[in-house]
A and B are shown apart, each in its own frame.
Chain A
């Protein structure tokens, strides 16, 4: 047990800090939990947790299996809209709607995976972008305005009071935190499993993995399905938080954000993308506060500096102390950028 605490000290401290954060803020400001700064920071952090899960789901593909997707927002949006439509217009209970989301996301990612994973690298990215764009057009289409709200989005998802983030902010904060911790543990379990090792083998050299006896398509589809389901669940939580589902959830910006979070935090490190979500979200908020509308320009500059000086992300660079790690990462990023790369065994 002692050994466990020592090995995971950083994670445990981070978790403890997040648990006491609302209470610490309440104590410092003198405000109650459901007013002022404590209320506001909890809201900010809830968004961080949601995006952390979404970024992590994206990194199952990019960081762990070496698959570049530009259409991951499709799953986030699927989760948000499926929940919204079923709960608001179908009068489904939330648990039943979540089961439906899992099934739909699994089918969706299975079909996309089987159809598209035969092409590699940027070509796969383009195919996924096409799928996500079709979904984006569909939710914006006035033909389905009755259910989707078209450009305005679907608003006023009815939820029981206990789940209402406006009424029970702190409970929702812990729900989102628990969700993020659970997904972290789940992804760690997958990555450390025999399947996870095959994902890593595919990421490094797909031909090599094939020639030792793996039907790599099966494992890539498996990774896509797991990634899709988790991404959709993040979308569910986002819909519950906002009590709405909007076209932006399906938009390409949502995917690009996940990509940035992974790269900033450290792709392929599990905790990295989650940390990246925190950095991106909090930095975005602070820059917006200080600089107003030009904040994105400044953020772009910061991003360029990060890529130049912290090239493997915060966690990746921290771990990349020796040359071998660096060589491996260079290799990996190159392969993601150029497709599967070498066909030479």
Chain B
């Protein structure tokens, strides 16, 4: 299996703060890979470094073999990377339909992918004319993910999808993400270790902006000491 995404020791700064001090990871095509670490470890910054919102100063970001470090976010997105930011990142003033349409790269993207999207998230079809600001938190999260599915992205970066959602919604969301992985590769940032451990094939653990450990998720689940030490959960 080839790697669709590879980070080689990237260093990212926010202002003068050195946030990522050498993060490396690879994401195998077709897998779900979880990026784990405690609050402030640099997980979100890693995703932003990939999509170009926080371009790394050093290191390499390879997507499909090409180095994309330093390219503009809109160019990187156009290569086929969908980014789902944390906190239900919908456009509140736009309707559900407009939120989806705005992500189209070709005119018929939504028409082509509508069945997949509304199959995964039937609620969105029901509320298609409603403004996104009127949706519930869970629905907004689903819309944010759905938006990244409109164009045919080869890789999705999903940041903390379960944050602030009720347990029942988290179950639904897990189902959706699991079905999604049949269509695309996913790099998932998730605080909820139970969710991450049930979804992901592989994991990367970062701490204080540095890569610490990686491997198959099933091995980490049995390694209680590591989970306790870096994630504070068991």
Contact = CB atoms under 8 A, between A and B. Distances in A.
Q: A and B: partners?
A: yes
Interface of A: 194, 197-198, 200-201, 203-205, 207-208, 210-216, 322, 324-325, 327-328, 331, 343-345
8 contacts: A204-B93, A210-B73, A212-B148, A213-B74, A322-B134, A324-B134, A327-B133, A345-B48
User: Which are the 9 A-B pairs with shortest beta-carbon distances?
Assistant: A345-B85, A213-B77, A324-B133, A210-B73, A211-B83, A211-B73, A215-B74, A328-B92, A213-B74
A328 B52 CA distance: 27
A64 to B, nearest CB: 10
A256 to B, nearest CB: 26
A250 to B, nearest CB: 33
Interface stretch (B3-11, B20-28, B57-65, B97-105): B97-105
A213 to B, nearest CB: 4
Contacts, number: 79
Contact of A197 (B48, B73, B74, B102): B102
A333 to B, nearest CB: 13
Contact of B53 (A198, A200, A328, A343): A343
B147 interface: yes
A208 B89 contact: yes
Contacts of B105: 213
A211 B72 contact: no
Nearest to A327: B133
Interface string B39-53: 000001000100111
Contacts of A205: 89, 91
B183 to A, nearest CB: 18
Contacts of B208: none
Given A211-B53, A215-B72, A344 B102 contact: no
Contacts of A214: 74
A214 B103 CA distance: 9
B163 interface: no
B87 interface: yes
Contacts of A324: 92, 131, 133-134
Contact of B103 (A210, A212, A344, A345): A212
Interface string B129-155: 001011000000000000110010000
A344 B88 CA distance: 11
Interface residues of B, number: 32
A198 B77 contact: no
A194 B74 contact: no
B94 interface: yes
B103 A208 contact: no
A78 B151 CA distance: 43
A345 B82 CA distance: 12
B128 interface: no
A322 B91 CA distance: 17
A345 B159 contact: yes
A197 B92 CA distance: 11
B29 interface: no
Nearest to B135: A324
Contacts of A212: 77, 82-83, 102-103, 147-148
Interface in B140-188: 147-148, 151, 159
A157 B160 CA distance: 64
Contacts of B159: 345
B212 interface: no
Contact of A208 (B52, B72, B78, B85): B85
Nearest to B83: A211
Contact of A344 (B44, B51, B133, B134): B44
Contacts of A215: 72, 74
Nearest to B134: A324
Given A201-B94, A213-B74, A214-B74, 19 more contacts: A194-B102, A197-B98, A200-B93, A204-B92, A210-B53, A210-B74, A211-B77, A212-B102, A213-B77, A213-B78, A213-B105, A322-B134, A324-B92, A324-B131, A324-B134, A327-B92, A328-B93, A343-B53, A344-B85
A203 to B, nearest CB: 8
Contacts of B94: 197, 200-201
